[in-house]
Structure 1
Amino acid sequence: MKYRLLGSLVGLLMTGAALTAVEGAQAVAAPAACDASDAAIYTPPAAVSAAPGTLLACEAVTLPKVPGSIPMKAWKVQYASTDLHGTPIAVSGTVAVPTAAWTRGGSRPVIGFNPGTLGLGLQCAFSKQLAGAYQDEYEGDQIAAILKAGYAVAATDGVGYLNGQTHTYVVGRNAGHALLDAVRTAFQVPGGGLSTGAKVGVWGYSEGGQASLWAAQLASSYAPELRVVGDAAGGVPGDLKITAAGLNGGPFAGFLLAAVLGLHTAYPSMPFDSLLNDAGRSAIQQGKTLCLVGTVTAFALANIKNYTKDALTLDQIYALSGPDGTWSDLIDAQKLGVGVGPAWSGAQYRIGFPVMQYRGLADEVIPAATEDGTHKAYCSAGVTTQWNTYAGDHLTADNQAINDVMSFFADRIAGWPTLGNC
């Protein structure tokens, strides 16, 4: 079911502590009832002053796009988070809890989930797709697997799916913060019955894999109170420069356009608008409105130089500087596996739990060099890492890994040790 519509096209196209991370954050009471309107979930507040992870609004919903008719309670949520500049922001997402009682000791575990690429159009938000308002690409099988295991799920839409915004696609700190704060939010949903002492896993594939590894890297400093016991990340674009070189001019060049837009949104002071020709300006406006399939079809075989006035190559764009440094510096800042280490190390990003990484051997979207490189960087740094490969391509490997991912989480939640397979 993963990438159901996109799959039909492939053949054709071939830092801070928990409550003080935001200076001036205030204690804000969570809503007493989940009676917000759907419009309110996606309307950004005039200002956000609450601590990261604070539930700002919630709405009880059903999730018809999750297969298996699993008895559950579910809510759309809007919650407080923090962007990479330290600015308080609001983010949307979904929380779901099985109605069957948790009987295996302790508190019901929570899995934080970040979907793969959905597109930048506001209608593409994962919470909207799960609730059936729009269907293009969704990962209902993964959500179903979490719920069938008896775990709760806290799925973030990611930063930038509220009205008037643009998703900051592949911006690492934004993604990691939003995912960790979705888990924090899940504990506050009225009627959710979740305990802050619960064990936590984080999971994602493709864009979501990058997000989950950033959550893993940031957990100890940004959300130290969460009991994270494991992270699963597949199809990871760990090095955006390698990924961009593979996408540019190819059948999945639309993902590169989305990355350009996401980075521009996160770093608006950097050179951008002045570089574009008429085709570039049109592409930017179009890209902001499309979901996954539309993005892939509209920009298949597109080359970045054709959208700039001076036919700039990727390397020439990387060399351009602005108030935040060079584009090269900012893109390198999203690279995973740099400055990581185990909990006892003095590394910038200390990871005190095992990580599972995986990819499809026939992946045609994310270059093997960056997926393998991220895995090797974690192993070299001493982070306990499980590395799995599957026979499928980018579209199929995600579902092929579900059973192994759920076994990985079950072992981590049970407290079984692992040495990984580095």
Structure 2
Amino acid sequence: MTAVASAMGLAAVIACAGPGPAAADPVHDFYLPPAQFDPARGAVIKTVDTAVYPAQPTDNGRWPIPAKQVMYTTRTEDEVPVAATGIFIDTDQPWHGSGPRPTIIIAPGTTGQGDQCAMSLAFATGVYASVTPPTLSVNQEALAASAWNSLGARVFVTDYIGMGTPGIHTYVNRIEEAHAVLDGARAANALSGSGADTPLAFWGYSQGGGATAAAAEMQAGYAPELNLKGTWAGAPTADLTEILRQVDGVLISGVTGFAVNGVLARHPDLQPQLDARTTPAGKALLRELADECIADVILRHPFMRSADITVDHRPISDHLREIPEVVDILDRLRIGALTPTSPVFITSGRNDDTVPYGQARQLATDWCGHGATVTFRTNDLPPILPRTTIPNHFGPELIDGYGTNNAIGYLVDRLNGIPSAGCAFD
């Protein structure tokens, strides 16, 4: 999510507001999976044609850009087949690199936890908004999708598990996010008819950076047939223990609730222990956050401190570290224990006030210790209005993705067959 995207979304609320996702209409019915579907990983369950308006016209003047909403099969952390959704944007423009046309799999940054926050809902117009109930979700990946598509690459953007489709979105669950990315790549290959040899690159920042990092290290074991050439993991959410500690009290600190809700969705036996540690207002807030998008969090719960919702007024991260089962879960969700077999570009802001710099650098160190090929680049943007997230966390996304750190250039080099050897830190 960028400040530009947020401003665009806020300005468009009145113009684009429509009925909430509870309304019975074909747009939202798409997200209901059939009673039975192909359980194969990456199987395409159904598609519907759509168009992307917040994108530059093609070289031949085509606009809006044709696309497909896609439902495909992926797996939960327990290997249960489940439906997920996304957006696929093909292209007939020439690929500006060398070799075959690639597909870029985009893992979105934090959009929220409510079904209406599914990125594919906002993709067509750039924003999804509703007055009853009031909610707002912005297409924060429009810039990346448009940039890659204009280079002649296919683009697939996943919604993740439980976003739009039934069930709770398991926010920053590295296993389920990796599955959604890797199976999204399989679905994209099937839709394009280009096959498993299709050159792929993974692109993600923040939650998306964690998802692509997890997918990169799990690819060899989960989807070895994929031809992954490189990954950008910007500000990756690699260590949830460190992130939950730092994010408390920042502009978007409500994401702590997303994480707690996601853990409880897969481990409901922990509910009594969490209930004993949270106030009635805290329990109500967690339920409310489960249906909110990140813009709703900013508007309704800015700078939330979790100590205000615990019975002893200590941060909820302190409580989580005192529950052995939760400690085990957070350790299992930490990225860095496996080894990517293709090059990875990690970027992080030294003054990021939301996703800690240290845990991102540690991820690079861990992978390098395993023999992976990693380039780690520090963004030295000075601190601007600390704890306000947008300048210090989202600001580096533009610099690292499209500016001087140039993640696009890094991935194009990998797609062009230019090697990236060893480990490099700066």
**Does the pair score TM above 0.5?**
yes
What secondary structure sits across from 1:351 in the alignment?
coil
The 5-angstrom pairing of residues 387-402 of structure 1 reads 387-392=376-381, 393-402=392-401
**Percent identical:** 25
Bigger CA drift: 384-393 or 229-238?
384-393
1:368 corresponds, among 327, 349, 357, to 357
- For residue 68 of structure 1, report the CA deviation from its aligned partner: 5.1
- For residue 303 of structure 1, report the CA deviation from its aligned partner: 2.8
Bigger CA drift: 221-230 or 399-408?
399-408
The 5-angstrom pairing of residues 17-416 of structure 1 reads 37-67=26-56, 71=62, 72-102=65-95, 106-132=99-125, 134=128, 135-189=137-191, 192-271=192-271, 272-309=274-311, 311=313, 313=315, 314-321=317-324, 326-337=325-336, 339=337, 349-392=338-381, 393-403=392-402, 404-416=406-418
Which ranges of structure 1 fall in alignment gaps of 5 or more residues? 9-35, 340-348
CA spacing shift, 1:163–1:52, aligned 2, 3 Å: closer
Amino acid aligned to 1:395: F
- For residue 270 of structure 1, report the CA deviation from its aligned partner: 2.0
What secondary structure sits across from 2:121 in the alignment?
helix
- For residue 119 of structure 1, report the CA deviation from its aligned partner: 1.1
Amino acid aligned to 1:244: L
Instruction: List per-residue Cα deviations over 1:30-82 (Å, max 9, x = no partner).
Output: xxxxxx95334311333444201000000111011334567443100000000
Contact 1:234 1:359 in 2 (8 A): yes
Amino acid aligned to 1:114: A
Distance in 2, matches of 1:42 and 1:95, equals 15
Contact 1:38 1:59 in 2 (8 A): no
- For residue 312 of structure 1, report the CA deviation from its aligned partner: 5.6
Distance in 1, matches of 2:49 and 2:379, equals 37
- For residue 389 of structure 1, report the CA deviation from its aligned partner: 2.5
Amino acid aligned to 2:322: A
Contact 2:240 2:334 in 1 (8 A): yes
- For residue 350 of structure 1, report the CA deviation from its aligned partner: 3.4
- For residue 159 of structure 1, report the CA deviation from its aligned partner: 0.8
Distance in 2, matches of 1:116 and 1:408, equals 20
Contact 2:206 2:234 in 1 (8 A): yes
Bigger CA drift: 220-229 or 140-149?
140-149
Q: TM-score, normalised by structure 1?
A: 0.83
Contact 1:67 1:141 in 2 (8 A): no
What secondary structure sits across from 1:260 in the alignment?
helix
Contact 1:54 1:184 in 2 (8 A): yes
Contact 2:97 2:416 in 1 (8 A): no
Amino acid aligned to 1:267: H
CA spacing shift, 1:254–1:137, aligned 2, 3 Å: farther
What secondary structure sits across from 1:187 in the alignment?
helix
Amino acid aligned to 1:336: I
Distance in 2, matches of 1:183 and 1:163, equals 19
Instruction: List per-residue Cα deviations over 1:144-177 (Å, max 9, x = no partner).
Output: 1111121111110011113442211000000000
CA spacing shift, 1:237–1:103, aligned 2, 3 Å: closer
Q: State the match for 1:23 in structure 2.
A: none
Contact 1:81 1:89 in 2 (8 A): yes
What secondary structure sits across from 1:89 in the alignment?
strand
Bigger CA drift: 306-315 or 165-174?
306-315
What secondary structure sits across from 1:165 in the alignment?
coil
CA spacing shift, 1:5–1:49, aligned 2, 3 Å: closer
Instruction: Please state which structure has a larger fraction of its residues in helix.
Output: 2
Instruction: List per-residue Cα deviations over 1:227-254 (Å, max 9, x = no partner).
Output: 0111111011211111111112333311
Amino acid aligned to 1:330: I
Instruction: List per-residue Cα deviations over 1:266-292 (Å, max 9, x = no partner).
Output: 322223345432211221222122211
Q: State the match for 2:21 in structure 1.
A: none
- For residue 216 of structure 1, report the CA deviation from its aligned partner: 0.4
Distance in 1, matches of 2:395 and 2:57, equals 20
Q: State the match for 2:19 in structure 1.
A: none
CA RMSD, Structure 1 to Structure 2 (Å): 2.5
Distance in 1, matches of 2:96 and 2:284, equals 55
Contact 1:249 1:302 in 2 (8 A): yes
What secondary structure sits across from 2:34 in the alignment?
coil
Instruction: List per-residue Cα deviations over 1:311-360 (Å, max 9, x = no partner).
Output: 46423333325xxxx101101111111x2xxxxxxxxx332111000022
Contact 2:123 2:142 in 1 (8 A): yes
Q: TM-score, normalised by structure 2?
A: 0.82
Amino acid aligned to 1:385: V
Which ranges of structure 2 fall in alignment gaps of 5 or more residues? 9-24, 129-136, 382-391
- For residue 104 of structure 1, report the CA deviation from its aligned partner: 6.0
Q: State the match for 1:12 in structure 2.
A: none
Distance in 2, matches of 1:146 and 1:93, equals 17
Contact 1:2 1:141 in 2 (8 A): no
Q: State the match for 1:11 in structure 2.
A: none
Distance in 2, matches of 1:383 and 1:216, equals 11
Instruction: List per-residue Cα deviations over 1:200-227 (Å, max 9, x = no partner).
Output: 1111000000000000011001101100
